Amino acid sequence: MKILGIGNAIVDVICKVDDKFITENNLTKSTMKLVDEAELKNLLPSLKIEETVSGGSVANSIVGLSQLGNQVGFIGKVSDDNFGNKYEEGLKKENVKYFYSKKKEITPTGTCLILVTPDSERTMVTFLGTAGKINANDININAVKESEILFLEGYLWDEGEPKTAFEQAINNSNKVAMTLSDLFCVERHKKHFLELVKNKLDITFANEQEFLSLIDTKKFEDVVNFAKSLKKLVVVTRGEIGAIAIHDDKVYECSAQKNLKIKDLTGAGDLFAGGFLHGIINKKSIQESLKIGTEMSSKVIQIIGARLSQSN
């Protein structure tokens, strides 16, 4: 198997809202807020659901990789309930091998409300459900050992059992890539993430704000110098500017595509990572891999949701 993803198995519920909805519910635009089941149930009645998808950041990347013809798998914890069944069906439909045997859990399957405002920004309200309770027993070690690259997400990292599961997977992997996921994630786990980036990860994905926060700086030049000092592969997305990859002392840049009809930024980073990893795993150059990542993210932001259909 080329790539195995381990991440939060979360059903994405995509809804269009106005800016007023964001402020009235004390949400911060373009960020992710973790909520409990009661808060989620409180928000749901006032929303019009556009679409539901088997989501989660790494799952989106893995589906993108599958659509590009790669043999891929995914591990993520769901409960044996309606959303859990939908989740598994959704992955299988995309030819992703699902290495997890679901059972009835006390906590229901995770759900993420993706609230898309008229400016195409997305604000996420996430109830992790049983996804956030992943433990070492949920990790299929053989699947980890048999994959060329293990791909993880920062969203999954949490003290206790998820951290143990994470470390067990890393210790049995051949090569590790990880996305730092979200600014709040970086700020919450800065010490641990810095340790991972420096000592455990072969490939790190982050956006500019996440990396600036990780190393406590306001200058992008510091990010480039820090990445060079690691002697690993660091990939930073910079929104409208494009993306940059740093490997050893070399810096590779790729401009963002222009004149796109942007509808929804959900999944832009996920599909970028999927496209980039497709390049790397198929022995393309770093420059070519950046280009594939940029093409994938450019396609996904012109549709609603974080998934491309096969026709895209």
The tally of domains found in the chain comes to 1
Nearest to 14 by CA among 155, 156, 82, 111: 111
Inter-residue contact 59 to 74 (CB < 8 Å): yes
Nearest to 220 by CA among 208, 231, 210: 208
Per mean pLDDT, which of 32-36, 70-74, 92-96 is the most reliable?
Answer: 70-74
The residue ranking higher by pLDDT, 44 or 210, is 210
**Would you say residue 223 lies in a domain?**
yes
| Average pLDDT of the residues in 213-228 | 97
**Would you say residue 44 lies in a domain?**
no
pLDDT tens, position by position, 223-280 = 999 999 999 999 999 988 999 999 999 999 998 777 777 765 667 889 999 999 999 9
Which structure tokens are listed for 160?
Answer: 């206790």
**Would you say residue 65 lies in a domain?**
yes
Task: Answer yes or no: is pLDDT of 312 > 60.
Answer: no
Task: Specify the pLDDT at position 78.
Answer: 95
pLDDT tens, position by position, 8-63 = 999 988 899 999 999 999 999 988 898 999 999 899 899 998 888 888 899 999 99
Which stretch of 7-11, 26-30, 288-292, 298-302 has the lowest confidence by average pLDDT? Answer: 298-302
Task: Answer yes or no: is pLDDT of 298 > 90.
Answer: no
**Would you say residue 12 lies in a domain?**
no
Task: Specify the pLDDT at position 302.
Answer: 66
Domain extent for 242: 3-7+58-101+133-300
Task: Specify the pLDDT at position 156.
Answer: 87
**Would you say residue 176 lies in a domain?**
yes
Task: Specify the pLDDT at position 42.
Answer: 92
Task: Answer yes or no: is pLDDT of 71 > 50.
Answer: yes
Task: Specify the pLDDT at position 230.
Answer: 96
Which structure tokens are listed for 192?
Answer: 């641990």
Exposure letters 155-173 (e unless 16+ CB within 10 A, then b): bbbbeeebbebbebbbeeb
If you average pLDDT over every residue of the chain, what do you get? Answer: 91
Task: Specify the pLDDT at position 311.
Answer: 47
Which structure tokens are listed for 59?
Answer: 């799952």
Nearest to 106 by CA among 86, 129, 126: 129
The residue ranking higher by pLDDT, 261 or 7, is 7
What's the CA gap between 254 and 293, in Å, rounded?
A: 10
- Is 190 exposed, middle or buried, given 0-12, 13-18 or 19+ CB atoms closer than 10 A? middle
pLDDT tens, position by position, 102-136 = 889 999 999 999 999 999 888 999 998 999 899 99
pTM attached to this predicted model: 0.87
**Would you say residue 97 lies in a domain?**
yes
Which structure tokens are listed for 261?
Answer: 């009809």
Task: Answer yes or no: is pLDDT of 309 > 80.
Answer: no
**Would you say residue 122 lies in a domain?**
no
pLDDT tens, position by position, 154-183 = 988 877 898 899 999 999 999 999 999 989
Which structure tokens are listed for 212?
Answer: 């600036």
**Would you say residue 37 lies in a domain?**
no
CATH assignment at residue 176: 3.40.1190.20
Task: Write phi, then psi, for 311 (nearest 5 degrees).
Answer: -75, -15
What's the CA gap between 137 and 120, in Å, rounded?
A: 39
DSSP labels, the chain = --EEEE---EEEEEEE--HHHHHHTT--TTSEEE--HHHHHHHGGG--EEEEEEE-HHHHHHHHHHHTT--EEEE---BSSHHHHHHHHHHHHTT-EE----B--SSPPEEEEEEE-TTS-EEEEEE-GGGGG--GGGS-HHHHHT-SEEEEEGGG--TTHHHHHHHHHHHT-SSEEEE---HHHHHHSHHHHHHHHHHT-SEEEEEHHHHHHHTT-S-HHHHHHHHHHHTSEEEEE-GGGEEEEEETTEEEEEEPPSS------TTHHHHHHHHHHHHHHTT--HHHHHHHHHHHHHHHTTSSSS---TT-
Inter-residue contact 135 to 107 (CB < 8 Å): no
Task: Answer yes or no: is pLDDT of 300 > 90.
Answer: no
Answer positive or negative: Cα dihedral of 308, 58, 301, 23.
positive
